[in-house]
Amino acid sequence: MERQAMDPERFVERLPQLCIGARMRGFPQGLDDLDVFLQSVASEIPREPVLSERWVNAAILRWLEDVGLHVEIDHVNIRRRLVDYGYLSRTRDGKRYALTDKVVDVPDSRAVIARALEERAARRAAAEAEGRTGSRSASGTTPGGA
């Protein structure tokens, strides 16, 4: 089965909302958001023919640390969801894993999150600056009553 590309604009829009918005204590409810989430996690896992559970766990933990900044889902539950939804295959004994063709190329998750954090910081700085100048111009005086 040929892999289809995910809409990069949607991925770039939704990933920050999922990973650095409000705390995420459960998986996204919508299938589109769940796909963005799981594709991002799966992109962290190397495309090797066979991976140990330890390798997969380490990759998911790196993703949680670097991308899923506000995601409060255990790495084991994420790994299970990757298997349940067909992003990872697992041997019967649960010791070996491999990515499936369901995993598609997505924009670099770390870069997407870094850009979103920079934009968020710039918006906050602009809002703070506007708040300082806005309150000054609204009263017609400078702070201190001059």
pLDDT digits (tens, 9 = 90+) for 15-53: 999 998 788 899 999 999 999 999 999 999 999 889 999
Q: At what angle do helices 53-66 and 31-42 cross, to 10 degrees?
A: 110
pLDDT at 3 over 80: no
Q: How confident is the model at residue 137 (pLDDT cuts 50, 70, 90)?
A: very low
Question: From edge to edge, which strands make up the β-sheet containing 96-99?
Answer: 51-52, 96-99, 88-90
Burial of 94 (0-12, 13-18, 19+ CB in 10 A): exposed
- How many C-beta atoms surround the C-beta of residue 9 within 10 A? 9
Burial of 62 (0-12, 13-18, 19+ CB in 10 A): middle
DSSP-derived 3-state class of residue 98: strand
Check if the beta carbon of residue 60 is closer than 8 Å to that of residue 44.
Answer: yes
Bridge partners (DSSP) listed for residue 97: 51, 90
113 phi/psi in degrees, rounded to 5: -70, -40
User: pLDDT tens across 74-126, in order?
Assistant: 999 999 999 999 999 999 998 999 999 999 999 999 999 999 999 999 998 88
Q: How confident is the model at residue 6 (pLDDT cuts 50, 70, 90)?
A: confident
